[in-house]
């Protein structure tokens, strides 16, 4: 049975003060370089937009790329450099594909998934694992292990990192990372500074499934204080249909609670809820099954409201303070500003937004076939788009 997914977008939750203190340099547009000779995807953007991480099968982005695998790269838009992330602490290439990167605010830490067995010593589980790369030291560590260092007995699915790079959430079906794990899948929080591992899905009934047709959804707020994930279960009122729940874990309480529940109503053809995690609460938005719906989301005092256009059965990405980016059914990346006006960024897909709302990364689908599947970033301040997947 096809199950539609819902998105939970993390709000800053105290991030603004932290970003102000970070005082990152202004981002400058990168000059045109040599585009990647293979497809790139799965872009993620740092807090200020300076760093963009992405997955690529291109072999010409860095020297010595001869493994023939999908690798993770990071582009520094100020220094105009591209580096490969998915290598061992000593710089050796991965022997299998890597995917789903996430980056800290300063570009120092990148987390990702990999099926490689040679990235760290003693990797003999034959599973997709989660890793954190420290680009300042070169050190690579495996994240999805028990507190004692035991390997996971099942694959990791999703991994996300906080702005400072110390708190990481990942999803897995492994049953041996903590004692008494009786669920078919869980979300874990790894605190790298404290050396602690916590299962944040303890309160979720074993009948709730983390997975859906699009994979597991799990996320963490930039300040590392809130994590969100979604679960699914069979709708008891309509056999063959499903219900979705949005869960929120808070560091303040140490507990996960349900913030929204929506069942698939076959008569109304309605989807699941989207829940925006805000500094002082949560704002659910219900998809009404129409082709397009305008929804006004009210932010906490002192922050502007903004409008999100939701298009049925199409990808969308909404996040941060007073910004929204969606992809409509025609394959265009849109940003809808605080005034409700839509800016068409470019023909593309898979938009990803920086936490300050000024940079939008996306897969370019315009121009000749030779330019397709390149990662570009649209800068709100200049209105220009620059190539990211370049050497």
Kindly write down the DSSP assignment for every residue of 227-256, as one continuous string.
EEEEEEEE-TTSTT-EEEEEEEEETTTTEE
∠ CA 158-131-95, rounded to 5°:
105
Q: How far apart are CA 295 and CA 352, in angstroms?
A: 20
Residue 17: DSSP 8-state: H
Residue 172 predicted with pLDDT over 70? yes
Strands 8-10 and 273-278: parallel
Residue 243 tokens, joined: 């219900």
Q: How far apart are CA 53 and CA 361, in angstroms?
A: 10
Residue 31 predicted with pLDDT over 80? no
For CA atoms 309, 314, 320, 324, the dihedral sign is: negative
Q: Which long-range contacts (CB under 8 A, 24 or more apart) does 278-285 make?
A: 278/11, 278/13, 279/11, 279/12, 279/13, 279/14, 282/248, 284/246, 284/259, 284/260, 285/310
Confidence class for position 264, pLDDT limits 50, 70, 90: low
The CATH fold assigned to 8-288 is Methylamine Dehydrogenase; Chain H (2.130.10)
Helix/strand/coil for 186? strand
Q: Which among 34, 39, 72 is positioned nearest to 369, based on CA atoms? A: 39
Could you tell me how many helices (H) and strands (E) the chain has, helices first? 1, 28
Q: Which of 42-46, 225-229, 330-334, 377-381 has the lowest mean pLDDT?
A: 330-334
Q: Which among 76, 48, 110, 103 is positioned nearest to 320, based on CA atoms? A: 48
- For the entire predicted model, the pTM comes to 0.81
Residue 181 predicted with pLDDT over 90? no
Confidence class for position 369, pLDDT limits 50, 70, 90: low
Residue 351 predicted with pLDDT over 80? no
Q: How far apart are CA 214 and CA 212, in angstroms?
A: 5
Q: Is the CB of residue 253 less than 8 Å from the CB of residue 262?
A: no
Residue 82 predicted with pLDDT over 90? yes
């Amino acid at each position: 049975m096809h199950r539609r997914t819902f998105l939970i977008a993390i709000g800053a939750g105290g991030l603004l003060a932290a970003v102000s203190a970070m005082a990152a340099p202004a981002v400058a547009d990168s000059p045109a370089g040599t585009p990647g000779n293979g497809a790139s995807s799965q872009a993620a953007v740092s807090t200020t937009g300076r760093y963009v991480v992405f997955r690529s099968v291109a072999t010409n982005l860095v020297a010595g790329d001869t493994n023939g695998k999908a690798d993770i790269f990071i582009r520094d838009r100020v220094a105009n450099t591209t580096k490969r992330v998915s290598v061992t602490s000593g710089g050796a290439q991965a022997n299998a594909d890597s995917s789903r990167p996430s980056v800290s605010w300063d570009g120092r830490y990148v987390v990702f998934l990999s099926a490689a067995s040679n990235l760290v010593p003693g990797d003999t589980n034959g599973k997709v694992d989660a890793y954190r790369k420290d680009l300042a030291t070169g050190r690579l560590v495996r994240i999805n292990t028990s507190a004692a260092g035991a390997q996971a007995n099942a694959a990791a699915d999703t991994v996300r990192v906080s702005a400072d790079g110390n708190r990481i959430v990942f999803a897995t079906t492994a049953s041996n990372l903590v004692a008494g794990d009786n669920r078919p899948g869980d979300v874990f929080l790894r605190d790298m500074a404290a050396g602690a591992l916590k299962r944040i899905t303890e309160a979720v009934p074993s009948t709730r499934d983390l997975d859906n047709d699009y994979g597991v959804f799990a996320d963490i707020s930039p300040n590392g204080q809130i994590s969100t994930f979604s679960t699914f279960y069979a709708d008891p009122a309509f056999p063959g249909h499903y219900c979705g729940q949005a869960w929120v874990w808070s560091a303040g309480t140490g507990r996960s609670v349900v913030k929204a529940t929506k069942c698939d109503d076959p008569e109304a053809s309605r989807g699941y809820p989207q829940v925006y995690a805000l500094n002082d609460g949560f704002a659910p938005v219900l998809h009404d099954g129409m082709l397009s719906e305008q929804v006004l989301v009210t932010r906490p005092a002192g922050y502007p409201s903004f409008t999100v256009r939701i298009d049925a059965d199409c990808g969308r990405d909404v996040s941060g303070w007073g910004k929204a980016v969606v992809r409509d059914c025609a394959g265009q990346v849109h940003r809808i500003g605080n005034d409700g006006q839509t800016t068409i960024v470019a023909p593309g897909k898979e938009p990803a937004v920086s936490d300050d709302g000024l940079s939008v990364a996306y897969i370019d689908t315009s121009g000749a076939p030779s330019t397709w599947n390149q990662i570009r970033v649209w800068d709100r301040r200049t209105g220009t788009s620059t190539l990211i997947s370049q050497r």
